[in-house]
C-alpha cells in the first residue's frame, strides 16, 4: 500500500487552505453560513463555504483565482426517478423547456446571452438529478445568476403551448438520433424493463417512452415544474474567480425572494432483487452480436459499493482483467468488459461482450465463457496488485478531475445533492483505500456468485439462431398514472421586489493573460514547447509525429491507425497486459493513436511518477513487440469495427462526403480508418515498414504541460534524446476530381429513423489570421453558434432536428465547408429546403449589424475560457508549433475579431457560400425520401459504399 499512501499525500499538494470564515453579521439578511471547509497537510479535498437561504436554497462557493472565469451550476434533485409510470420523460423534457425563456428572459435569449458573453452552457438529465451550468468570463457572473434565478422562479408565465410542442418534437428528434437511429440504441431501455420490477423509477428511459411524451400536455408540465423545481430542492454551486461577499449579495437578491416549493423527501432506497434469471433478445440493424448480463447489487455510497467496484475491475476492467484474457485475447469477442455503475437508488453489476463473427458469433458460447471467467475468479481470488492498481487509479482519476473549475464544481454539487455534504472526496478515497481482499470475496459471494441475472442478446436482423437462450421474459403492460405528479399545494406567483426585466450589466472586462510559454530542444533537435501550471501535481505530454494517414497511398488506408494500435500492444520485453499493469500501478496512461496528418503519443502522469512513466514510453516507442498474435487479433478487431461502422448513418455520411469532395485517389477522400478491403490486405510487414517511416525523431515534436518548470521538464524528456531518424517527406497529392455541385447524392440506409444531411464543398486550408479565420467569423451567426440562423430554424422553430450547424474545417493543405444535421426521415425534404433558404439568404444579404455585434462579443470574450485546463493549453501550443505561429496569435485573432467590418464579412459570404458550388448528400431510407427530394429540381445520383 505504500504507493497508494504516497499518491494520496502528493494529491494533498493541490489543495490550499480556504480563507478565514466570514462573520455571520456581515452576511446579507436571510443568508446563513452552514460551514467553512479548508484543507492543509495531507488532507485531500476542495475548499468551499456552504450557505443556505431562508427559502431552503443551498449555496456552495469555491474560490479559484487561477483563471478569469466562473462556473455556475444549478442542480435540482429531480430526474426520471421522480416520475410516475406512464408519465415518463418529464425531467428530460424540462431540461429543454428551461432554455426557452422565462418571464423576463425572451425566447431563445438564454443561449444568446451566455454565448454573447463569451460563455458556454448546457444542461443534463439522468435518473436522479437535472443540472444547468454555464462557464463565463468572471465579469458576467451577475448576469448568470439573474438568468438562472428567472427560470427557477419565473418560468411558468412564459410557458406556452407552442413552446411545449416544439420542445416535445425536439426531444423526439433527440430520441431518434441517439436511440432509434443508433445501433444497439434501444438495448438499454429494453434491458432495464427486465432488470427492474414494474413501476420502479429506473424501469423507464430517462428520455421517456414516445407514447408517454405524446400523452403529456402543458398542464402536466406546469405541475411537474411546481412540484420539483423550487429552491429547497436545488443546490447552487459557484466556482472560480469572484468576490465572495459580492456574490452572496447577488445570490440573495436574485434567488432569495423565490418561495420554497413543496417539501421534498429523499427517495426510498430498497435493494433490487431478481427471482430468476431472465433471458430476452432483440434483433437490430447491427453487425456484431452483443451479449449483456446484469445483476442487481446495492445503491450509490452503500458500504459494499467500493468492493464491488474493485471486483468489476478485476473481472473486466481492461487488458489486465479476466474478461480480456478469456474473451478478447482468445478471439471469442471483439470487445468485453465489466463495470459497476451506481445510481441513487440502485447499482448494477454489468457485463458485456461483442461477439467475433469470425468465431461464429454464438452468444450461448459467449455466455458460457463469461460464466467460466467468474468461476475462474472464485478459484483465483484477489491479489495485492488487484487492490493496489484500482486504488491508485481511483486516486489519480480524482486528481485529474480537479484540473478545471467545472470539474471541482461538479464534484461539490454532486456530493451535496446526494450526500448533503460537498466534502466527500476524502471519504471516497478512504473507502476505496480501505477495501480488503476479504471484502471483495465477501461481496462476490453475497451479490454475484450463483445469483439470478438478466441476460440480453442483441443480434443482427434475421439471425435469431445466435441468441444465448430463448426468451423467458415479456415486459408487462405499462400502467398509466392518472396524473403527472401527486396533488400539490401550489403557492401563487410572486411579484419581485425589484425590476427583473433589467438585464444586469457586465463588470469590467477581465484581463486575459496568455500562458507563459517556453521553447526548447532535446539533444537530437526534437522541438519542445511547454508551460508550467501548478494547480495539480500532474503532467500531460503529447508527442506529435508529422505524417499519419497523409503519408499513405490510398490502398494502404488505415495503416497509420493499425500501426498505432500495435504500439498499444506488447513490447519486446513485456506483454501488453504487463505494460498495462505497470501503468495502472502508477496511475498513468500512455496511448498511441493516428489521424489525418499525424500520429500521437499521449502521456498522462502524476508528477511524482513521471520518470517511471517515461521509461514505459521509451519501451513502447523504441521496442515495439509487433508479434503475429497481437497483429491478427488487432486486425480482426479493426475489421469487425469497420463492419459495425457501416451500420452507423453518420459514418456513412462522413465517408461519402469525403469521397465526393476529394475523390477515391486522395488520402482525404478515403477514411483514415481504412476500408474492409485495405485492412484485410494489411500484413505485419506493412506495419513494421510504416513504423520505420513514421516513428522517427525527425517527424517528432513535443508539447508538455505540467507542474514542472522548463529545466525540470526537459530533464524528464531527455530520455527521448537517443531517438534517431530523419523526417519523412509527404508524398505528392493526387489530382483532385472535378467537383460537381448542384446535385443531390443519396446513400440508402433502409429503415433509418433519421436522415443525415450534408451540404458542402472543398474549401480553404487552415490559417490563424487570414481568410480561413475570417470565414469562421463570417459563418458564426449562420451556423457556428447554438442560436445561429440554421439551428434556430431547424431545431427551435420547426422541430426537425436535435441540432443543425455549419462550419469551415481546414488542415495544412486542404479544407472544406459543411452544413449538416440529422433530421426526422419524414421531414427530410422540408429540412433541406430550410437549409438552402438560410444559406442562400446569408450569401445574398450577409449578416446584420446585430449579428456582427453578437459575433464580436461572443468570440472575443470567450478567450477567457481558452487556457484553463492542461489540454486547452496544449492545444494552443500545438497550433503555434504545427503552423509556426506567433506566440501571441490568439491576441492577433482577437484584434481581427474586434476590427473586422460588415462589408468584408459579407463579401466573404458571397464568395464562400454559393450553393451552386456545393454538393448535397443525404443518407437515409431511399424509398421514403427520394420521391419528395426529386421534386426539388436537382439531379439525383445514388451512391454505393
By three-state DSSP, how is residue 693 classified?
A: helix
Report the distance separating Cα 714 and Cα 862, nearest Å: 32
| Contacts (Cβ under 8 Å, ≥6 apart) of 901 | none
Residues 372 and 242 in one domain: no
Question: Could you tell me the strand order of the sheet in which 589-594 lies?
Answer: 517-521, 527-532, 700-706, 538-546, 598-606, 589-594
CATH number of the domain at 799, please. Answer: 3.30.830.10
Report the distance separating Cα 92 and Cα 207, nearest Å: 6
Quick check: 369 and 560 in contact, CB under 8 A? no
| Contacts (Cβ under 8 Å, ≥6 apart) of 495 | none
Residues 462 and 557 in one domain: no
With pLDDT > 70 as the criterion, what percentage of the chain qualifies?
96
Q: How confident is the model at residue 8 (pLDDT cuts 50, 70, 90)?
A: very low
pLDDT at position 42 is: 63
Statement: residue 24 has pLDDT above 80: no
Which ranges of 154-295 would DSSP assign to H, the alpha helix?
A: 161-175, 187-195, 210-215, 218-228, 244-255
* pLDDT tens, residue by residue, 338-360: 999 999 999 999 999 999 988 89
Q: Does 484 map to a domain?
A: no
The residue with greater pLDDT, 94 or 256, is 256
Report the distance separating Cα 249 and Cα 256, nearest Å: 10
* pLDDT tens, residue by residue, 802-847: 899 999 999 999 999 999 999 999 999 999 999 999 999 999 999 9
Q: Does 481 map to a domain?
A: no
Which ranges of 401-507 would DSSP assign to H, the alpha helix?
A: 405-419, 425-433, 437-443
Statement: residue 12 has pLDDT above 60: no
Q: How confident is the model at residue 514 (pLDDT cuts 50, 70, 90)?
A: confident
* pLDDT tens, residue by residue, 107-160: 888 889 999 999 999 999 999 999 999 999 999 999 999 999 999 999 988 888
Residues 452 and 531 in one domain: no
Q: What is the dihedral of CA 109, 110, 116, 117, to 10 degrees?
A: 140
| Contacts (Cβ under 8 Å, ≥6 apart) of 925 | 748, 749, 750, 751, 752, 755, 825
Report the distance separating Cα 633 and Cα 369, nearest Å: 18
Statement: residue 523 has pLDDT above 60: yes
pLDDT at position 738 is: 86
For the segment 717-743, the average pLDDT, to the nearest whole number, is 92
Quick check: 92 and 42 in contact, CB under 8 A? no
Give me the DSSP letters along 609-625: GHHHHHHHHHHHHHSB-
The residue with greater pLDDT, 300 or 426, is 300
Report the distance separating Cα 898 and Cα 891, nearest Å: 11
| Average predicted confidence (pLDDT) for the chain | 92
**Alpha-carbon radius of gyration of the chain:** 28
- The grid cell for 429 is 478515497
* pLDDT tens, residue by residue, 283-316: 998 989 999 999 999 999 999 999 999 999 999 9
Q: Does 242 map to a domain?
A: yes
Whose cell is 428572459? That residue is 105
Statement: residue 9 has pLDDT above 90: no
Decide which of 466, 488, 507 is a domain's last residue: 466
Size (the chain), residues:
945
* pLDDT tens, residue by residue, 213-222: 888 888 888 8
For the segment 67-71, the average pLDDT, to the nearest whole number, is 93
Statement: residue 16 has pLDDT above 80: no
Report the distance separating Cα 328 and Cα 659, nearest Å: 33
pLDDT at position 492 is: 65
Q: Does 738 map to a domain?
A: no
* Residue 862 DSSP symbol: G
Residues 72 and 152 in one domain: yes
Report the distance separating Cα 661 and Cα 659, nearest Å: 6
Residues 110 and 21 in one domain: yes
* pLDDT tens, residue by residue, 89-116: 988 988 888 888 899 999 888 889 999 9
* pLDDT tens, residue by residue, 375-406: 999 999 999 988 888 888 888 888 888 888 99
Domain range for 365: 278-466
For the segment 708-712, the average pLDDT, to the nearest whole number, is 96
pLDDT at position 560 is: 98
pLDDT at position 491 is: 65
Q: How confident is the model at residue 676 (pLDDT cuts 50, 70, 90)?
A: very high
Statement: residue 479 has pLDDT above 50: yes
* Residue 411 DSSP symbol: H
Residues 184 and 318 in one domain: no
SS (H, E, C) 441-500: HHHHHHHHCCCCCEEEEEEECCCHHHCCCCCCCCCCCCCCCCCCCCCCCCCCCCCCCCCC
pLDDT at position 25 is: 58
**Angle (CA) 350 352 354, round 5°:** 170
Quick check: 197 and 45 in contact, CB under 8 A? no
Among 599, 528, 533, 526, smallest CA distance to 562 is for 599
* Residue 342 DSSP symbol: B
Statement: residue 6 has pLDDT above 80: no
Number of domains in the chain: 4
pLDDT at position 311 is: 96
Residues 227 and 304 in one domain: no
Q: Does 683 map to a domain?
A: yes
Which ranges of 708-811 would DSSP assign to H, the alpha helix?
A: 710-717, 771-779, 789-791
pLDDT at position 41 is: 65
Report the distance separating Cα 124 and Cα 99, nearest Å: 12
* pLDDT tens, residue by residue, 356-381: 988 899 999 999 999 999 999 999 99
Statement: residue 11 has pLDDT above 90: no
Decide which of 207, 224, 255 is a domain's last residue: 255
Residues 232 and 355 in one domain: no
Statement: residue 22 has pLDDT above 60: no
Among 412, 502, 410, 406, smallest CA distance to 142 is for 502
pLDDT at position 213 is: 87
pLDDT at position 183 is: 86
Q: Does 727 map to a domain?
A: no
Whose cell is 449483456? That residue is 292
Residues 450 and 383 in one domain: yes
* pLDDT tens, residue by residue, 181-201: 888 999 999 999 999 999 999
Q: Does 886 map to a domain?
A: yes
Q: Does 478 map to a domain?
A: no
Residues 210 and 154 in one domain: yes
Residues 213 and 131 in one domain: yes
Quick check: 439 and 447 in contact, CB under 8 A? no
Residues 190 and 318 in one domain: no
pTM of the entire predicted model:
0.90
Amino acid at each position: 500500500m505504500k504507493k497508494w499512501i504516497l499518491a494520496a499525500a502528493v494529491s494533498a499538494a493541490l489543495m490550499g487552505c480556504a480563507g478565514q470564515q466570514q462573520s455571520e453579521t456581515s452576511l446579507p439578511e436571510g443568508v446563513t453560513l452552514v460551514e467553512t471547509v479548508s484543507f492543509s497537510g495531507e488532507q485531500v479535498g476542495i475548499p468551499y463555504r456552504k450557505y443556505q437561504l431562508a427559502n431552503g436554497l443551498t449555496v456552495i462557493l469555491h474560490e479559484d483565482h487561477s483563471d478569469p472565469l466562473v462556473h455556475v451550476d444549478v442542480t435540482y434533485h429531480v430526474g426520471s426517478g421522480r416520475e410516475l409510470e406512464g408519465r415518463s420523460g418529464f425531467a428530460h423534457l424540462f431540461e429543454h423547456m428551461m432554455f426557452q425563456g422565462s418571464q423576463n428572459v425572451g425566447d431563445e435569449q438564454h443561449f444568446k446571452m451566455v454565448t454573447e458573453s463569451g460563455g458556454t452552457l448546457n444542461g443534463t438529465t439522468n435518473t436522479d438529478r437535472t443540472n444547468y451550468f454555464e462557464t463565463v468570463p468572471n465579469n458576467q457572473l451577475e448576469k448568470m445568476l439573474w438568468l438562472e434565478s428567472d427560470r427557477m422562479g419565473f418560468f411558468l408565465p412564459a410557458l406556452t403551448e407552442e413552446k411545449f410542442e416544439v420542445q416535445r418534437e425536439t426531444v423526439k428528434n433527440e430520441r431518434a438520433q441517439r436511440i432509434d437511429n443508433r445501433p444497439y440504441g434501444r438495448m438499454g431501455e429494453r434491458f432495464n424493463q427486465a432488470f427492474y420490477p414494474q413501476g420502479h423509477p429506473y424501469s423507464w428511459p430517462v428520455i421517456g417512452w414516445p407514447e408517454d411524451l405524446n400523452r403529456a400536455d402543458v398542464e402536466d408540465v406546469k405541475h411537474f415544474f411546481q412540484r420539483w423545481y423550487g429552491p429547497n430542492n436545488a443546490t447552487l454551486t459557484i466556482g472560480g474567480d469572484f468576490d465572495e461577499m459580492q456574490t452572496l449579495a447577488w445570490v440573495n437578491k436574485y434567488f432569495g425572494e423565490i418561495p420554497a416549493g413543496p417539501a421534498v423527501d429523499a427517495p426510498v432506497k430498497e435493494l433490487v432483487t431478481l427471482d430468476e434469471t431472465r433471458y430476452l433478445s432483440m434483433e437490430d440493424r447491427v453487425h456484431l452480436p452483443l451479449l449483456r448480463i446484469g445483476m442487481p447489487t446495492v445503491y450509490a455510497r452503500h458500504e459494499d459499493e467500493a468492493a464491488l467496484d474493485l471486483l468489476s475491475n478485476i473481472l473486466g476492467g481492461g487488458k489486465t482483467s479476466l474478461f480480456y484474457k478469456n474473451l478478447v485475447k482468445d478471439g471469442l469477442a471483439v470487445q468485453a468488459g465489466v463495470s459497476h455503475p451506481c445510481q441513487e437508488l440502485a447499482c448494477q453489476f454489468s457485463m458485456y461482450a461483442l461477439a467475433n463473427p469470425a468465431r461464429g458469433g454464438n452468444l450461448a458460447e459467449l455466455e458460457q465463457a463469461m460464466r467460466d471467467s467468474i468461476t475462474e475468479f472464485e478459484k483465483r481470488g484477489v491479489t495485492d496488485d488487484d487492490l493496489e492498481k484500482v486504488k491508485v487509479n481511483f486516486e489519480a482519476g480524482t486528481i485529474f478531475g480537479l484540473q478545471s473549475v467545472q470539474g471541482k464544481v461538479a464534484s461539490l454539487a454532486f456530493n451535496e445533492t446526494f450526500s448533503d455534504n460537498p466534502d466527500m472526496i476524502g471519504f471516497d478515497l478512504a473507502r476505496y483505500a480501505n477495501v480488503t481482499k476479504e471484502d471483495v470475496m465477501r461481496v462476490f459471494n453475497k451479490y454475484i456468485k450463483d445469483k439470478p441475472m438478466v441476460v440480453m442478446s442483441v443480434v443482427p436482423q434475421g439471425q435469431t439462431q445466435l441468441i444465448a437462450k430463448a426468451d423467458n421474459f415479456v415486459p408487462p403492460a405499462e400502467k398509466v398514472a392518472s396524473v403527472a405528479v401527486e396533488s400539490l399545494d401550489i403557492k401563487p406567483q410572486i411579484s419581485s421586489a425589484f425590476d427583473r426585466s433589467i438585464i444586469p450589466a457586465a463588470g469590467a472586462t477581465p484581463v486575459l493573460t496568455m500562458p507563459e510559454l517556453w521553447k526548447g530542444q532535446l539533444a537530437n533537435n526534437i522541438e519542445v514547447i511547454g508551460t508550467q501550471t501548478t494547480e495539480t501535481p500532474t503532467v500531460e505530454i503529447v508527442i506529435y509525429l508529422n505524417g499519419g494517414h497523409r503519408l499513405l497511398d490510398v490502398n494502404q488506408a488505415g495503416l497509420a491507425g493499425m500501426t498505432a494500435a500495435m504500439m498499444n500492444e506488447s513490447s519486446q520485453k513485456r506483454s501488453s497486459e504487463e505494460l498495462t499493469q505497470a501503468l495502472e500501478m502508477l496511475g498513468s496512461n500512455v496511448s498511441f493513436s493516428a489521424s489525418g496528418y499525424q500520429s500521437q503519443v499521449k502521456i498522462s502522469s502524476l508528477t511524482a511518477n513521471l520518470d517511471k512513466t517515461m521509461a514505459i514510453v521509451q519501451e513502447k516507442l523504441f521496442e515495439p513487440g509487433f508479434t503475429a498474435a497481437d497483429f491478427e487479433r488487432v486486425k480482426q478487431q479493426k475489421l469487425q469495427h469497420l463492419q459495425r461502422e457501416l451500420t452507423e448513418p453518420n459514418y456513412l455520411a462522413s465517408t461519402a462526403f469525403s469521397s465526393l469532395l476529394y475523390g477515391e485517389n486522395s488520402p482525404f477522400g478515403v477514411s483514415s480508418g481504412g476500408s474492409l478491403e485495405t485492412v484485410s490486405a494489411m500484413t505485419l510487414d506493412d506495419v513494421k515498414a510504416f513504423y520505420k517511416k513514421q516513428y522517427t525523431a525527425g517527424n517528432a515534436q513535443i508539447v508538455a504541460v505540467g507542474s514542472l518548470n522548463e529545466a525540470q521538464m526537459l530533464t524528464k524528456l531527455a530520455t527521448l534524446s537517443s531517438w534517431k531518424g530523419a523526417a519523412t517527406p509527404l508524398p505528392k497529392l493526387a489530382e483532385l476530381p472535378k467537383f460537381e455541385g448542384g446535385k443531390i447524392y443519396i446513400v440508402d440506409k433502409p429503415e433509418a429513423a433519421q436522415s443525415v444531411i450534408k451540404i458542402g464543398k472543398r474549401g480553404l486550408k487552415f490559417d490563424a489570421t487570414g481568410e480561413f479565420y475570417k470565414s469562421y467569423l463570417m459563418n458564426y451567426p449562420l451556423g457556428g453558434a447554438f442560436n445561429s440562423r440554421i439551428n434556430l430554424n431547424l431545431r427551435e422553430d420547426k422541430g426537425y432536428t436535435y441540432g443543425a450547424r455549419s462550419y469551415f474545417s481546414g488542415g495544412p493543405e486542404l479544407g472544406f465547408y459543411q452544413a449538416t444535421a440529422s433530421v426526422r426521415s419524414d421531414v427530410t425534404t422540408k429540412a433541406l429546403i430550410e437549409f438552402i433558404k438560410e444559406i442562400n439568404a446569408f450569401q445574398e444579404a450577409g449578416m446584420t449589424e446585430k449579428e456582427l455585434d453578437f459575433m464580436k462579443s461572443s468570440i472575443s470574450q470567450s478567450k477567457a475560457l481558452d487556457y484553463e485546463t492542461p489540454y486547452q493549453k496544449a492545444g494552443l501550443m500545438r497550433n503555434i508549433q504545427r503552423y509556426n505561429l506567433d506566440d501571441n496569435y490568439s491576441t492577433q485573432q482577437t484584434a481581427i475579431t474586434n476590427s473586422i467590418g460588415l462589408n468584408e464579412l459579407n463579401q466573404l459570404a458571397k464568395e464562400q457560400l454559393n450553393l451552386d458550388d456545393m454538393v448535397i448528400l443525404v443518407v437515409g431510407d431511399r424509398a421514403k425520401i427520394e420521391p419528395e427530394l426529386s421534386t426539388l429540381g436537382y439531379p439525383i445520383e445514388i451512391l454505393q459504399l
